[in-house]
Amino acid sequence: MADDLVRRRVVVQGRVQGVFFRDSLRERARAAGVAGWVCNRSDGAVEAVVEGREDDVGRVVAFAREGPPRAEVTGVEVSDEAPEGLSGFAVR
């Protein structure tokens, strides 16, 4: 199972704070069965680490590219990282 894990760090820019982006992403992550965390950054972006099976992580990253209804995503950076075996999904 560990060999099937992927980990992606996602940084989302635009109007993404104060629009329930973190809570919406957490709901999507939990529904997809992935682990990780999401937080607001001081530069106005939202940053998330998502770890799980490729397809499940891909669904959460796809949601991050759109965001919840009140968000206006203007840019998304996605980078691969080595999985750490995280469990649960937290809003930081």
pLDDT digits (tens, 9 = 90+) for 14-61: 999 999 999 999 999 999 999 999 999 999 999 999 999 999 999 999
The predicted model scores a pTM of 0.94
**Domains of the chain, start order:** 2-91 (3.30.70.100)
> How many residues can be counted in the chain?
92
- Over residues 60-73, the pLDDT tens digits come to 999 999 999 999 99
Lookup: tokens for 60: 């959460």
Residue of 7, 8, 22, 26 marked active site: 22
Annotated catalytic, 22?
yes
pLDDT the model gives residue 2: 58
Pairing mode, strands 72-81 and 46-53: unpaired
Cα–Cα separations (whole angstroms), residue 15 to 43, 59, 74:
11, 21, 8
Residue of 7, 15, 26, 40 marked active site: 40
Distance CA(41)–CA(9), nearest Å, equals 13
Distance CA(6)–CA(32), nearest Å, equals 14
Annotated catalytic, 15?
no
pLDDT the model gives residue 37: 98
